[in-house]
Structure 1
Amino acid sequence: MVSESLKHRIADFLKKYPPFSFLEEDELVRLSALARVQFRKAGEVIFHQGEQPEDVFYVINQGHIHLTIEEENETGLVESLDEGDLLGIAALLARRLYLFTAKAEEDCILYLLPWEPFKKIIYTHPRILRFFSSGFSAGMHLYHKRNIGTGLENHDRAAFSAHDEILKIHVAKRVVQCRPDMLVSEAAKIMTEHRVGSILVLDDRQYPLGIITDSDMRKKVATGLFPISSRTDEIMSSPVITASPELTAADAIVLMMRHNIKHVAITEDGTSESAVRGMVSEHDVLVLHGNNPAVLVKEIEQATDLTPLPRIRDRAEQLLRDYLQQNVSIQFIAGTLTEINDELIDRAIDLSIQKLKEMGLQSPDDRFCWLSLGSEGRKEQLLRTDQDNAIVYADPPPGREEEYERYYLALGREVNNVLISCGFQECPSDIMARNPMWCKPVSAWKEYFGRWIRVPDDKAVMHTTIFFDLRPAYGDSSLADELRNCIITYKKKDPAFLLFLAKNAISNPPPLNFFRNFIVEKSGAHEDRFDLKARCMMPLADAARLLTISHERLNSVSTVERYRTLIELEPDHRSIYEEAIRAYGIYMQFRATYGLRNNDSGRYINPQELDKIDRQTLRNTFSTIEEIQRIVRVRFQLDLLR
């Protein structure tokens, strides 16, 4: 038993990390009182692959631990763990031997927590149960497929949990069933005909009485315990575990783990006292896990060539469809797609660098940064629309300018081509890293930024709306910081530049005309279409960029993040900025939904295709644009400049 002061120190540490952060303080203190503290020297093995686990698991307080696996006389690194990570709990959950060897890479302090008391906590706290079961289930799938760890001890667990908790699982409506007095031989024939591994036993009311699986057939019939002429109710497993039609993937995982089963019957009210409406199997859960964002990210990371990347990005688009259909928060969706896109860019660059090396092109300097611009820079690119990207690299030594430019242009071309193969469109204005204009040393970029701010003509202002939304996606982010800092420096020298940005921010009038009809395009390919991007999204995005630059706060990059920053800086305008956040989320959702529906960018919408609710939803947000533009007009005294 630890001392009074030590148990509180342990509790204070644990509460910073999930799943302990989900516990009430008194419960966490009680658990901490049962902990033991252990010191392990660098190089010391905590446990070996194939060992029987003790009745404890570990939490890393200080230090760094490597998990390795030995296969076919080769040792491979599975995971690196550090402060706050859990160690050894997957083996306890699965009741099996350790799959890995855990070795201290530096001196470590570990907290050892007893398994039995914590197991009781898991099963009495749904959120903690979901935390473990999501990662555990996904890891077991990976373990069976590739014979490596459960995935519980990695940093993707929160993404698994969030994905599972919000997605409803597809329920098979066709239920293979039989009556309780049917012979086992007949039931076996039905299972064979339908190519299924289970059959539900239902009564006349379609209420579930039991279930027969392949396992029941093997253990009870094939072994001779029951003759093939037995009735189904003699060999069925009962009671059947049931759930309601609102079952999520996380709920399914929890039920399957808790009851050690592979099938859940879906009934009208979620109990066995109502009619069966469908069935969910372990396979259904694994299929859903295949589109889990953490799985997609991990598959991108593990890609050894470019071949699988387009396929993985296609699955990300299906994930987007699923999220939109189930009304998942648009900010969650944007964050998830940004993580996937960023990982795709990272892998594309790594593989392109490798390809260039094989072609005899060596990087002249590791100090470069891939910049995501425009909507991707703002973390708002849900659909695979135009690429906007660039490269900034360290200033080359005198005489080596052409060498640097040649290499980074080649890299830009390779990466742009990879992204095109993954479905991202080419930028019509060629604002892409392959363009010599947008692949420059940091000094040249600073000259660009300075010129645009000193001479803010229409083209310069257009460039600022794209390039000032820069976000480092790969490489040395300090180069991106230099560019952000120079924006502030040049803005201070030429504050009149903000007036030109302000004029641009109000250049699109409110989206309704005098008769409260949507303002549509008068001619061209999009005649009679409503331009959602220009009429709704750009006014809010442009205003947010302008106002945060005026406050010299450039760390916030997304439009929503910028308005949240403005709420902190200008609390008097809290309500209108909160409305701007809500409106922008609606526009993002509309654009993604209609883009997927029409297989385009989602920018142009036919107002006649909107139902009454959608039309009214959009109309209700337009006053927010007017209010934001009024703030811009007043603050920058634009009415006096007419």
Structure 2
Amino acid sequence: MANSATEMLISACIRFLQAYPPFDRMEVEAVRFIAERAKLAHYPKGAQILGSEMGVARSLYIVQCGRVRVKAGSPLANVEYSSVTLGPGQAFSIGALMAQRPSANAYVAREEVFCYELPSDDFFTLTQKSTAFNLFCTQHIAGLLNQSRQQLQLQFAQRASEQKTMNSPLTAIVKREPVAVGPQATIRQVVETMAGQHLGSMVVVDEASHPIGIFTLSDVLKRIVLPGVPLDQPISSVMSGSPQTLPLAANAHDAALVMAMHGVRHVLAVDEGGSLRGVISERDLFKLQGAGLRQIRHAIDAATSIQVLQHARADVRQLALTMLAEGVGAQEITQFISTLNDTVTRRIISLNLERHDFYGIDWAWLSFGSEGRDEQTFSTDQDNGIVFVCTDIMDREQTQLRFIEFAREVNEDLDRCGFPLCKGNIMASNPDLCLTIDEWEERFAQWIHTPEPQALLNATIFFDFRPLHGRFNLAHRLRLSLLRQTRGNPLFLRMLAQNALSVAPPLGRFRDFVTDGDPDHPGCIDLKKFGVRLFTDAARVFALARQVEATNTVHRLKRAGALMNIPAEDVAASIEGFNFLQLLRLRHQHFEQEQGRAGDNFVSPDDLNEIERRILKEAFRQARKLQARLKIDYQL
């Protein structure tokens, strides 16, 4: 009888879980695993279920009935949930469990609540048993990292329309009434207000509204959490006194100078009587870099010498580094870098065209590889070529020699502007890459119909082409020709898929990662060769097989994925994995260049924190899933 009652409870739990995501997508045995091990706990109204003071999280909580209120235990915690109330089927403490830390939030029963509680050991076992649950948890953690920068990404998207400059007075920058508290306000009151109003700082003022202190997000950990300061203490006990102030008539340059001189991130704008009128943050000044972006673009377009372009190219790099430091996403940054690099390249081409006359000739400058995919990082060399039309009245050899001479000057100028000459000579000055449209089509046909190893390697480079200057219709014609030829040659696609499978994700059976792929970099993973390449190679095969014209990896995955009926959540997970690898590359290259070294792609997993290691592992698993699809499609 007891066994029968237990089975009834387990069955009831299974039925409940299968009505809510992600449990409705999980394997039956995985859901049963939860039902057999979770305990149903009761909490009366007002009871605290979980909080930071309880120490490292010990269980996964799944609300069975009732409502749970999420109260921010720190101003950083408000990014974890978009809603402040959780209901049946919703789980919490995932982030704390994955990071093996106390919960950043407090969870309180708004009414009588029942929760299924799964012990942490069983939680981690479940992440290994269930791919769907593992993906859900990883996406949750990735979401925590991404949500904190979403607002900045929105601001970056809006910057093109910004009209302010660094000469703007502070009155033009301050857009909201300042929020301030008196010195006797408790830490709890201040933190809850900051979380509720999405504030990065709180100003402390006296009775005359004169600023006497400031408290910021960065103070939470070092002044409250680590010392264990009670939340009922006055804010004056943990604030920074004597905050930096400027009159409203001062400008953004003045604010930036004060921040740099005093090592602070906020400057307070005050009126003539010294009363608080606004708060200027580093992010407010960063938004003004929209003007810097326009100035860089204008400087490039108006450049009359390579020297000017060299300065502009340095500005592009610096602005991209600023974006990275501010948390802008990898996809946005790589497209930003590629777009402004395109602008520099076009201007160099235009300057050199002043000494070369190609009037009456249809031609185009092509980019290949990462530039052709709009995926350039901080460290990139040249991959380019020329396509031209040779009519019956033209001397083909003489025309090619003219283009090669022109291309050599462009390649050299690009090198001066920070785009190193390609060691593999994949440049327009190479006669093999300065061809007529018919010759390019013939070259593509040869690679497709004779897919030997070198031809497959060429396909991974040259099939990701994009026009930068000249007659774009030539590139379009070449693209249609390429798609037409690949559509009629399944053997080539099979060989290209096999080539994509020649490199496996660096995941080990007995350890998290395989880090011995390059003996010159022990303990590291080449995130280009063993990371992003896995995604770009698979996306290329998918795109060519489904006649998708896009070259960008994310666009290819989205468009081909829809045509292949791949679930949208699986496509999104692949894109998230790809973008995370790109982000690690960008961050690593940033650090390398800060140290005066040429940026590479070798990252040590030991240098990552626990959450980043888990997401990296999941990114490689997503690459493995793409490769598994290739194996199925082409029976490899």
1:34 alignment counterpart: none
2:348 counterpart letter in structure 1 = A
Hey, what's the Cα distance between the residues in 2 that align with 1:303 and 1:443? 35
1:457 alignment counterpart: 452
Shifted more, 526-535 versus 587-596: the winner is 526-535
1:425 alignment counterpart: 420
Hey, what's the Cα distance between the residues in 1 that align with 2:327 and 2:621? 24
| Contact 1:543/1:629 (8 A) holds in 2 | yes
The 3-state SS of whatever aligns with 2:441 is helix
1:613 counterpart letter in structure 2 = I
2:88 alignment counterpart: none
1:561 alignment counterpart: 555
Distance 1:133 1:343, change over 3 A: closer
1:534 alignment counterpart: 529
The 3-state SS of whatever aligns with 1:241 is strand
Offset at 1:535?
Answer: 1.1
Hey, what's the Cα distance between the residues in 1 that align with 2:582 and 2:245? 47
Alignment: residue pair count: 393
Given candidates 494, 506, 509, the residue that maps to 1:511 is 506
The question of 1:299 aligning with 2:299 is answered yes
| Contact 1:210/1:239 (8 A) holds in 2 | no
| Contact 1:453/1:490 (8 A) holds in 2 | yes
2:164 counterpart letter in structure 1 = S
1:611 alignment counterpart: 609
Offset at 1:397?
Answer: 2.9
The 3-state SS of whatever aligns with 2:370 is helix
Distance 1:378 1:214, change over 3 A: closer
Hey, what's the Cα distance between the residues in 1 that align with 2:280 and 2:624? 45
Distance 1:238 1:581, change over 3 A: same
1:310 counterpart letter in structure 2 = Q
Hey, what's the Cα distance between the residues in 1 that align with 2:333 and 2:159? 23
Note the alpha carbon deviations across 1:352-379, whole angstroms, 9 max, x for none: 111x24xxxx225441111110000000
Hey, what's the Cα distance between the residues in 1 that align with 2:635 and 2:509? 25
Distance 1:212 1:241, change over 3 A: closer
1:109 alignment counterpart: none
Hey, what's the Cα distance between the residues in 1 that align with 2:166 and 2:562? 41
The question of 1:578 aligning with 2:562 is answered no
2:560 counterpart letter in structure 1 = L
The 3-state SS of whatever aligns with 2:306 is coil
Hey, what's the Cα distance between the residues in 2 that align with 1:205 and 1:377? 52
Note the alpha carbon deviations across 1:75-124, whole angstroms, 9 max, x for none: xxxxxxxxxxxxxxxxxxxxxxxxxxxxxxxxxxxxxxxxxxxxxxxxxx
Hey, what's the Cα distance between the residues in 1 that align with 2:375 and 2:393? 39
Distance 1:413 1:575, change over 3 A: same
| Contact 1:371/1:390 (8 A) holds in 2 | yes
Distance 1:246 1:319, change over 3 A: closer
1:349 counterpart letter in structure 2 = I
Hey, what's the Cα distance between the residues in 1 that align with 2:614 and 2:391? 56
Distance 1:634 1:407, change over 3 A: same
Paired residues for 1:274-353 under 5 Å: 288=289, 292-353=292-353
1:377 alignment counterpart: 372
The 3-state SS of whatever aligns with 2:490 is coil
Hey, what's the Cα distance between the residues in 1 that align with 2:515 and 2:335? 31
Paired residues for 1:154-553 under 5 Å: 206=242, 211=247, 236-237=272-273, 239-243=275-279, 245=281, 247-249=283-285, 288=289, 292-354=292-354, 356-357=355-356, 362-363=357-358, 365-398=360-393, 400-521=395-516, 524-553=519-548
Distance 1:328 1:587, change over 3 A: same
| Contact 1:374/1:469 (8 A) holds in 2 | yes
The 3-state SS of whatever aligns with 2:366 is strand
| Contact 2:487/2:544 (8 A) holds in 1 | no
Offset at 1:398?
Answer: 4.7
Unaligned runs of 5+ in 2: 1-153, 169-199, 202-209, 211-239, 252-270
Offset at 1:296?
Answer: 1.2
Shifted more, 566-575 versus 502-511: the winner is 566-575
Structure with more contact order per residue of length (Cα contacts < 8 Å, sep ≥ 6): 2
Hey, what's the Cα distance between the residues in 1 that align with 2:244 and 2:498? 68
Offset at 1:524?
Answer: 4.7
Note the alpha carbon deviations across 1:394-444, whole angstroms, 9 max, x for none: 124355112211111112111111111111122121111111110111111
Offset at 1:566?
Answer: 2.2
Distance 1:517 1:304, change over 3 A: same
Hey, what's the Cα distance between the residues in 1 that align with 2:302 and 2:435? 31
TM-score (norm 2): 0.57
| Contact 2:348/2:410 (8 A) holds in 1 | yes
Paired residues for 1:8-157 under 5 Å: 135-138=162-165
Offset at 1:581?
Answer: 0.6
The 3-state SS of whatever aligns with 1:390 is strand
Offset at 1:322?
Answer: 1.1
Distance 1:433 1:626, change over 3 A: same
| Contact 2:160/2:294 (8 A) holds in 1 | no
Offset at 1:541?
Answer: 0.5
Distance 1:366 1:140, change over 3 A: farther
Hey, what's the Cα distance between the residues in 1 that align with 2:352 and 2:545? 39
The 3-state SS of whatever aligns with 2:567 is helix
Unaligned runs of 5+ in 1: 1-126, 142-169, 172-179, 181-203, 216-234, 252-284
Hey, what's the Cα distance between the residues in 2 that align with 1:211 and 1:324? 31
The 3-state SS of whatever aligns with 1:518 is coil
State the identity %: 27
Given candidates 590, 595, 599, the residue that maps to 1:596 is 590
| Contact 2:384/2:427 (8 A) holds in 1 | yes
1:452 counterpart letter in structure 2 = W
| Contact 2:363/2:386 (8 A) holds in 1 | yes
Offset at 1:315?
Answer: 1.3
| Contact 1:377/1:557 (8 A) holds in 2 | yes
Distance 1:136 1:213, change over 3 A: closer
Note the alpha carbon deviations across 1:303-355, whole angstroms, 9 max, x for none: 1122111111111111121111111122221222222011111101000111x
| Contact 1:377/1:471 (8 A) holds in 2 | yes
Hey, what's the Cα distance between the residues in 1 that align with 2:379 and 2:469? 19
Offset at 1:294?
Answer: 2.4
| Contact 2:346/2:468 (8 A) holds in 1 | yes
Note the alpha carbon deviations across 1:496-518, whole angstroms, 9 max, x for none: 11011110111111211221342
Hey, what's the Cα distance between the residues in 1 that align with 2:418 and 2:286? 31
Note the alpha carbon deviations across 1:196-226, whole angstroms, 9 max, x for none: xxxxxxxx974799849799xxxxxxxxxxx
Offset at 1:392?
Answer: 0.5
Note the alpha carbon deviations across 1:255-304, whole angstroms, 9 max, x for none: xxxxxxxxxxxxxxxxxxxxxxxxxxxxxx5xx456x3222111100111
Please tell me the root mean square deviation across aligned C-alpha atoms, in Å: 3.3
1:176 alignment counterpart: none
Offset at 1:249?
Answer: 3.2
TM-score (norm 1): 0.57
The 3-state SS of whatever aligns with 1:380 is coil
Distance 1:326 1:131, change over 3 A: closer
Distance 1:575 1:394, change over 3 A: same
2:531 counterpart letter in structure 1 = C
Hey, what's the Cα distance between the residues in 2 that align with 1:377 and 1:214? 45
Hey, what's the Cα distance between the residues in 1 that align with 2:160 and 2:389? 46
| Contact 2:162/2:290 (8 A) holds in 1 | no
Distance 1:237 1:576, change over 3 A: same
Distance 1:250 1:434, change over 3 A: closer
Distance 1:452 1:244, change over 3 A: same
The 3-state SS of whatever aligns with 2:529 is helix
Hey, what's the Cα distance between the residues in 2 that align with 1:133 and 1:466? 32
